Structure 1
Amino acid sequence: MKTTLSTRTALALAVAMTLGTGTMAVAQTHADHDHSTPEGMQQHMQLIQQEQQGKAAGQHEAEALVRKVDPAAGKITLRHGAIPGMGMGAMTMVYAVKDKAMLDGLKAGDKVRFAAEKVDGSYIVTRIEKAE
């Protein structure tokens, strides 16, 4: 006897597999903090708010460590964790900035919070500030 999947069954399996993959990605994004402490829960809530705001505005926010600042070129090298909304894992990357003046006062070793958006195929830092 031949067994074949119906179109409905195949579609249901594809949807289930896709949803499972998305759930794992969300779990990985939120795995870097402890939900059992007030600080961990606060960080979790901030991440959720940032993800929602970023999706609404087309911008994506993250925390990073400044590795290098090049004011003349209007670029900054940042080491950041995963940014799911941008489809990026944790990495070190050189970003152009929207305005060179944004780099004033920043130096290698600074912890920052930044927002970036995709412009003409490249991610541009649209806002950056020192993190506390």
Structure 2
Amino acid sequence: MIIYINEGLMEQSSFKQRTILWKIMIEHFEENPFLGNGPSKGVEGIPDVADNNYIFILFKYGIIGLFLWLAMVGLVIRKITSLIGNVNNNYLLSYLLIYWIVLLLTSLTMESLESIRMTTIAFFLTGICMTNNTHNRKSRKLS
């Protein structure tokens, strides 16, 4: 498909559909800004997908839900960055940090953190790294 400069992004049907859906979801979010529309409450005419994790969480769980979700992910990233300088195998932690950052960036255009495949890998590797580093610290203290 050839995209002409003067057509812009809004002429592309996929992008146009996404922005229309985002606008509708934000309008519904504004009706219940703190708690959102609820996890199982469907809104007629709105699919259960938004192609944007942040808007989807605002729509479903409101400001409180988005804050808690970002706090959880932020704590995971903070823990990973604090471990990077303290261990010998920095390559795995560096990879894991990059993986989390990519997940957060791709969340702007898809539900990357709602994907069971992608989050399973992220949380599994995060758990392994944190467990391994906890055991390493305990063994250093005993020495």
Alignment TM class, shorter chain as reference:
under 0.3
Normalising by structure 1, report the TM-score. 0.28
Question: Hey, which of these two has a bigger chunk of helix by percent?
Answer: 2
Q: TM-score, structure 2 length as denominator?
A: 0.27
